[in-house]
C-alpha cells in the first residue's frame, strides 16, 4: 500500500510541477499562494533549476515569457490581485504562442479584497485576462490529489498547443492540508523547434506578438482561433456524480464542488435525488455535456464562491432547457452544505403544478435570499 | 606599389574601407532620416560580430521604434511588453546560462514604464548587456515628453516646453543605476559625430565583455537624435544633441567596477557614418 502523506495544495502543486520537469519558476509573494513560492525557493535551487522572486507580478510573468521563449518548461503562481498584473504578460504569451502554466490561488475581491478563499475570478480566468482575442485553457482541481494530477496535464496542454494554461484554485485548495498518495507524474523533456537558442547554423528566430499589417494580424488571429477550436474539441473535461437518477443537478467546481458533494449526500438522505456536474476545464467549458443533460432535469443549481459568474456559462449552455438557480457566497465566505441543501429544496419547488407550493427563481435570480437565509 | 611604365594611371589596389557587418540585414531600415537607431544597430552588429557572439545571442526588443531591431539584426530575438525587457532577459538568462543576452530599449520604455524592471535587473546583477537609446521623446507615438526630455524642450505633450514644476526633472537613469553594486559597468555614448560613435562602440564592446566575464550587469546609454520628434532637420538635431542634450547627459564612463576586465581596444573604425 502506498504511503499517504499530508500536503497542502500549494506545496502539492509545486512538487507536481517539479516532478513534471518544470525548469523555471518565477513569482512574487502574495497570500494565499506564498507557500508555493517558498517551496520553490527551496526546491528549485536544490535541483539546479531556475527560481527568481521577481520585483512584481509584472516582472514575474515577463521573466516567465523570456524563459518560455527559449523552450523552458515554466511555472508561475499568484493570487487574484497579482493575476490582474500578470494579465499583461498573459496576453503577450497568448499572442506569441508560448507555453506556460500559471497557478491562480484565488482570494476575495474586488481591489485588495481579502485573503480568504474565493471564486470571484472566474470571469477573469475564462474570458481572457488581458487585451485581445484570445482564450486560455483553465483547469480547476477540486482536491489536492486532483491538483497533483492536473499540473502535468496543464504542462502537456500548454506544450501541445503552445498556449499559456491556468490552474485555478482558491485559498482553501491552496492552504488546506489533505492526505494524498504522492503519485507525481513525470514528463519527457521538451525541445521545441521554435525556441530561441541563439541562431547557430540556422536563420534567426523571432518570438513576437506584433503584426502591424492588418492582413497579417488577421491571419495570425485566424490561426489562433483555429487552435482554440481544436482545444475545445479535445480538451474539455468534467466529472459527473449521481446524475443517472437525478432530478436536480448541482453545477460547481473547485472548493464549491466539495461543499456541493456533502450537500448532495445530505439531500439524498432527505429523499431528494440530486447529482453533481463538475466542470474541470472551465475553458473550454463543458457546455455540450451540460446541454444534453439539461432536458432530463427539473432544475439546475449552480453553487459558487462568488456573486454568480460561472452561472452565466451554465445558462448559455442549457439555453433555457432547464431552470437555472444560483447560490453563492462572496468576500471569503464559504457556503455551508446546509445552505446548499436549503437552495436545493427551492430547486425542487420550481415549475410545480398550479396549486402546489412553488419557487420562482426570477424573484431571486442570484440566490442571495438563499445566501442570507436565516440570518435576517 | 608596382612600378609602372608609360603614362601614369591610378592603380591603387582596391582596399575595403566599408562593408555591411554580417549580423546586419541587407534591408534598409524604416527609421526616419537623421534617426540614430541605425547607427546603434550597426555598432551592435559590429561588436557582436567581432566578438563572435552572433550564434549564441538571444536579444530582447523593447517597445517603441526599435522593436523592429529584429528586422535588421540577424539574431534570435524576443519581444518584450513595454518596459519589461530586463525581466524578459532575466528569464532567458536564468534558463540559458550559455547564451549571450542583450536588451535594446528606448528611453520611454526603460526610463518610464520600465523603471522597476531595469532597476531590479541591475540590482540583481543579472548578466545582461543593456543598450539604452535615449532620444528624449516617445518617438513612435508622435514625440511626446519622456522622463528624459530636457527642461524647456517642446514636445507634443509639453507644447509650452517642459517645466520642472509641472512635469518634473529629467531622469538620469544611467547615473541612478551606477549606484547599484550589481552594476559592473555603466557608460554613456553618443551618435553625434564619428569620434563619439567610435567611443560608443568601445563602450558597447566593454559592456559585452563584462557579461562574458560574468562580472555583473552592464548598461550603455546612447544619447541619440529624433529629428521628427524634435521638430528639427537632421542637421539641427545633431547640433541640439551636441549643445543641449550632451550637457544634461554627458558622455563618458559612469561607473566601472571591473578592474579585472580589460577594455579591448576598438578595431580601426570601419564605419563611414558622419
Mean per-residue pLDDT for A105-123? Answer: 95
Chain B nearest-CA residue for A63:
B91
In a domain, A203, yes or no: no
Rounded to an integer, what distance in angstroms lies between the CA atom of residue B158 and that of residue A197? 43
Query: Per the domain annotation, does A324 fall within a domain?
Result: yes
How near does any CA of chain B get to the CA of A182, in Å? 28
- Classify residue B125 as exposed, middle or buried by CB count within 10 Å of its CB (0-12, 13-18, 19+): middle
Residues A26-64 pLDDT 10s: 999 999 999 999 999 999 999 999 999 999 999 999 999
Convert the pLDDT of each residue in A178-188 to its tens digit: 999 888 999 99
Out of B78, B80, B119, the one facing A196 most closely (by C-beta) is B78
- Quote the percentage of chain B above a pLDDT of 90: 86
Q: The domain that contains B99 carries what CATH number?
A: 3.40.50.970
Q: Which candidate in A69, A72, A74, A216 is best for mutational testing of the B interface (most B CBs within 10 A)?
A: A69
Average pLDDT, chain B: 92
Count how many domains chain B has: 1
Helix-, strand-, coil-residue percentages of chain B, each rounded to 5: 35, 20, 45
Q: Which residue does chain A place closest to B117, by CA atoms?
A: A59
Check: CB of residue A297 under 8 Å from CB of residue A246: yes
Asked if the peptide bond before residue A290 counts as cis, ω within 30 degrees of 0, the response is: no
Q: Do A206 and B77 touch (CB under 8 A)?
A: yes
Comparing A79 with A355, which gets the higher pLDDT?
A79
Could B96 and A200 be called an inter-chain contact, meaning their C-beta atoms sit closer than 8 Å? no
Of A56, A63, A203, the CB nearest to B88: A63
- For B23, the closest chain A residue by CA position comes to A204
Range of the domain at A124: 5-188+209-234
The rounded distance, in Å, linking the Cα atoms of A72 and A68 is 5
E runs forming strands in A107-247: 138-139, 164-170, 177-180, 206-207, 238-241
Number of domains in chain A: 2
Query: Residue B260's pLDDT is what?
Result: 54
B109 or A359, greater pLDDT: B109
Contact B95 A50 (CB under 8 A): yes
User: pLDDT grade, residue B274 (50/70/90)?
Assistant: very low
Closest chain A residue to B82 measured between Cα atoms?
A88
Please give the mean pLDDT across all residues of chain A: 94
* Position B92 in a domain: yes
Per residue in B144-190, pLDDT (tens digit) is 999 999 999 999 999 999 999 999 999 999 999 999 999 999 999 99
Would the pLDDT of B124 be above 50? Answer: yes
User: What percent of chain A stands above pLDDT 90?
Assistant: 90
| Predicted confidence band of residue B129 (pLDDT cuts 50, 70, 90) | very high
Pair A275, A310 in one domain: yes
Are A166 and A53 contained in the same domain? yes
Cell numbers 531591431 correspond to what residue? Answer: B69
Count CB neighbours of B246 within 10 A: 16
pLDDT of residue B1: 46
Q: What is the pLDDT of residue A367?
A: 55
Q: Is residue B261 part of a domain?
A: no
Q: Which of B82, B76, B80, B89 is nearest to B125 (CA)?
A: B89
- For residue B5, the model assigns a pLDDT of 58
Nearest CA-CA partner of B210 in B200, B220, B221? B220
pLDDT in tens, A320-354: 999 999 999 999 999 999 999 999 999 999 877 78
Same-domain status, A229 and A264: no
Say yes or no: A55 and A177 in one domain: yes
Please determine, for residue A357, whether its predicted confidence score (pLDDT) is greater than 90.
no
Determine, yes or no, domain membership for A353.
yes
Q: Is residue A368's pLDDT more than 90?
A: no
Reduce the DSSP state of residue B34 to 3 states and report it. coil
Pairing of strands B183-190, B252-256: antiparallel
| Between residues A358 and B19, the one the model is more confident about | B19
pLDDT at A41: 98
Enclosing domain of residue B164: 37-256
Please report the pLDDT score of residue B273 as a whole number.
35
Q: Is residue B171 part of a domain?
A: yes
A199 found inside a domain: no
Whether B18 has a pLDDT exceeding 50, the answer reads: yes
Write the residue in B57, B60, B87 that is nearest to A59 by C-beta.
Answer: B87
Task: Indicate if A31 and A163 belong to the same structural domain.
Answer: yes
Same domain, A229 and A244: no
- Predicted pLDDT of residue B25: 95
Sign of CA dihedral A281, A284, A285, A290: negative
Which residue has better confidence, A60 or B8? A60
Would you state the pLDDT for residue B11? 74
Question: A251 with A213, same domain?
Answer: no
Look at A199 and B94 and tell me if their CB atoms are within 8 Å.
no
Closest CA to A164 of A116, A231, A251, A115: A231
In the predicted structure, residue A375 carries a pLDDT above the cut 70: no
| Contact flag A59-B84 (C-beta cutoff 8 Å) | yes
Q: Is the pLDDT of residue A371 over 50?
A: no
Per-residue model confidence as pLDDT tens digits over B75-95:
999 999 999 999 999 999 999
Instruction: Return the residue in B25, B69, B77, B95 with the most chain A beta carbons within 10 A, the one to mutate for interface testing.
Output: B95
Give a yes or no: residue A371 inside a domain.
no
Whether residue A207 and residue B77 make contact (CB cut-off 8 A), yes or no, is yes
Q: Out of B54, B90, B116, whose CB is closest to A199?
A: B54
| Spacing of C-alpha A51 from chain mean position | 24
Residue A376 falls inside a structural domain: no
| B6 within some domain | no
Q: Do A56 and B81 touch (CB under 8 A)?
A: no
Co-location of A144 and A228 in the same domain:
yes
Overall average pLDDT of the A115-125 stretch: 96
Q: Is residue A364 pLDDT above 90, yes or no? A: no
State yes or no: pLDDT of B255 exceeds 90: yes
pLDDT in tens, A273-319: 999 999 999 999 999 999 999 999 999 999 999 999 999 999 999 99
pLDDT at B263 over 70: no
Helix segments in A274-365, DSSP class H: 287-293, 310-318, 337-347
Asked if the Cβ–Cβ distance from B90 to A64 is below 8 Å, we say no
C-beta separation of A44 from A111 below 8 A:
no
CATH of residue A128's domain is 3.40.50.970
Asked whether residue A369 is domain-assigned, the answer is: no
Pairing verdict, β B100-106 and B183-190: unpaired
Name the residue of chain A whose CA is nearest to B113's CA.
A58
A140-190 pLDDT tens trace? 999 999 999 999 999 999 999 999 999 999 999 999 999 998 889 999 998
**If DSSP codes are grouped into helix, strand and coil, which group holds residue B120?**
helix
In a domain, residue B10? The reply is: no
Size of interface A-B (CB pairs under 8 A): 132
Which CATH number belongs to the domain containing residue A305 in this structure? 3.40.50.920
Percent of the residues in chain A that have a pLDDT greater than 70, as a whole number: 96
- B264 pLDDT above the threshold of 90: no
Task: State the pLDDT at residue B27.
Answer: 87
Shortest CA distance from A210: residue in chain B: B79
Task: Check whether A373 has a pLDDT greater than 60.
Answer: no
ipTM score assigned to the predicted complex: 0.94
Spatial CB neighbours of A189, under 8 Å, sequence gap ≥ 6: A21, A73
Query: pLDDT at residue A208 above 60?
Result: yes
Assigned domain for A321 exists: yes
Q: Are B132 and B174 in contact (CB under 8 A)?
A: yes
Using 50, 70 and 90 to split pLDDT, how confident is the model at A65?
Answer: very high
pLDDT band at A67 (very low <50, low <70, confident <90, very high): very high
Amino acid at each position: 500500500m502506498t504511503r499517504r502523506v499530508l500536503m497542502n495544495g500549494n506545496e502539492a502543486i509545486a512538487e507536481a510541477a517539479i516532478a513534471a520537469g518544470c525548469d523555471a519558476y518565477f513569482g512574487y509573494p502574495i497570500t494565499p499562494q506564498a507557500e508555493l513560492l517558498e517551496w520553490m525557493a527551496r526546491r528549485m535551487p536544490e535541483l539546479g533549476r531556475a527560481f527568481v522572486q521577481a520585483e512584481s507580478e509584472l516582472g514575474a510573468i515577463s521573466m516567465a515569457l523570456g524563459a518560455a521563449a527559449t523552450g523552458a518548461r515554466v511555472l508561475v503562481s499568484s493570487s487574484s490581485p497579482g493575476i490582474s498584473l500578470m494579465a499583461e504578460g498573459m496576453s503577450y504569451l497568448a499572442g506569441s504562442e508560448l507555453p506556460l502554466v500559471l497557478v491562480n490561488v484565488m482570494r476575495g475581491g474586488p481591489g485588495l479584497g481579502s485573503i480568504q478563499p474565493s471564486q470571484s475570478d472566474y470571469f477573469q480566468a475564462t474570458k481572457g485576462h488581458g487585451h485581445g482575442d484570445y482564450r486560455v485553457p483553465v483547469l480547476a482541481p477540486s482536491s489536492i490529489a486532483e491538483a497533483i494530477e492536473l499540473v502535468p496535464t496543464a504542462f502537456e496542454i500548454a506544450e501541445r498547443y503552445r498556449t499559456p494554461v491556468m490552474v485555478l484554485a482558491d485559498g482553501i485548495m491552496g492552504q488546506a492540508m489533505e492526505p494524498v498518495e504522492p503519485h507525481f507524474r513525470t514528463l519527457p523533456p521538451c525541445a521545441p523547434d521554435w525556441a530561441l537558442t541563439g541562431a547557430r547554423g540556422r536563420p534567426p528566430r523571432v518570438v513576437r506578438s506584433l503584426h502591424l499589417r492588418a492582413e497579417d494580424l488577421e491571419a495570425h488571429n485566424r490561426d489562433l482561433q483555429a487552435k482554440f477550436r481544436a482545444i475545445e474539441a479535445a480538451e474539455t473535461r468534467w466529472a459527473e456524480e449521481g446524475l443517472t437518477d437525478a432530478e436536480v443537478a448541482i453545477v460547481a467546481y473547485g472548493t464549491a464542488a466539495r461543499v456541493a458533494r456533502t450537500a448532495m449526500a445530505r439531500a439524498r438522505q432527505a429523499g431528494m435525488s440530486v447529482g453533481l456536474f463538475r466542470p474541470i476545464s472551465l475553458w473550454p467549458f463543458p457546455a455540450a455535456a451540460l446541454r444534453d443533460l439539461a432536458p432530463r432535469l427539473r432544475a439546475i443549481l449552480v453553487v459558487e464562491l462568488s456573486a454568480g459568474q460561472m452561472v452565466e456559462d451554465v445558462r448559455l449552455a442549457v439555453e433555457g432547457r432547464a431552470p437555472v438557480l444560483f447560490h453563492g457566497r462572496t468576500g471569503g465566505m464559504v457556503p455551508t452544505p446546509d445552505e446548499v441543501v436549503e437552495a436545493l429544496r427551492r430547486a425542487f419547488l420550481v415549475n410545480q403544478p398550479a396549486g402546489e407550493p412553488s419557487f420562482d427563481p426570477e424573484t431571486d435570480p442570484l440566490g442571495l435570499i438563499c445566501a442570507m437565509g436565516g440570518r435576517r | 606599389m608596382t612600378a609602372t611604365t608609360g603614362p601614369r594611371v591610378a592603380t591603387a589596389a582596391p582596399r575595403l574601407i566599408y562593408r555591411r557587418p554580417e549580423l546586419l540585414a541587407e534591408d534598409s531600415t524604416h527609421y526616419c532620416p537623421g534617426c540614430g537607431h541605425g547607427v546603434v544597430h550597426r555598432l551592435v552588429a559590429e561588436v557582436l560580430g567581432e566578438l563572435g557572439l552572433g550564434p549564441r545571442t538571444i536579444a530582447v526588443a523593447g517597445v517603441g521604434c526599435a522593436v523592429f531591431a529584429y528586422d535588421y539584426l540577424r539574431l534570435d530575438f524576443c519581444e518584450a511588453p513595454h518596459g519589461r525587457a530586463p525581466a524578459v532577459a532575466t528569464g532567458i538568462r536564468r534558463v540559458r546560462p550559455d547564451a549571450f543576452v542583450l536588451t535594446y530599449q528606448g528611453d520611454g520604455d526603460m526610463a518610464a514604464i520600465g523603471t522597476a524592471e531595469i532597476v531590479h535587473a541591475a540590482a540583481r546583477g543579472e548578466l545582461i548587456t543593456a543598450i539604452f537609446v535615449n532620444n528624449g521623446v516617445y518617438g513612435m507615438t508622435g514625440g511626446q515628453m519622456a522622463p528624459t526630455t530636457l527642461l524647456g524642450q517642446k514636445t507634443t505633450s509639453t507644447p509650452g516646453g517642459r517645466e520642472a514644476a509641472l512635469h518634473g526633472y529629467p531622469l538620469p537613469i544611467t547615473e541612478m543605476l551606477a549606484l547599484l553594486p550589481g552594476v559592473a559597468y555603466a557608460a554613456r555614448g553618443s551618435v553625434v559625430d564619428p569620434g563619439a560613435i567610435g567611443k560608443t562602440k568601445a563602450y558597447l564592446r566593454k559592456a559585452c565583455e563584462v557579461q562574458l566575464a560574468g562580472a555583473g550587469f552592464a548598461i550603455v546609454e546612447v544619447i541619440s537624435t529624433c529629428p521628427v520628434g524634435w521638430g528639427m532637420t537632421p542637421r539641427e538635431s545633431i547640433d541640439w544633441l551636441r549643445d543641449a542634450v550632451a550637457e544634461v547627459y554627458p558622455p563618458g564612463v559612469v561607473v566601472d567596477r571591473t578592474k579585472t576586465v580589460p577594455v579591448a581596444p576598438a578595431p580601426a573604425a570601419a564605419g563611414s557614418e558622419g
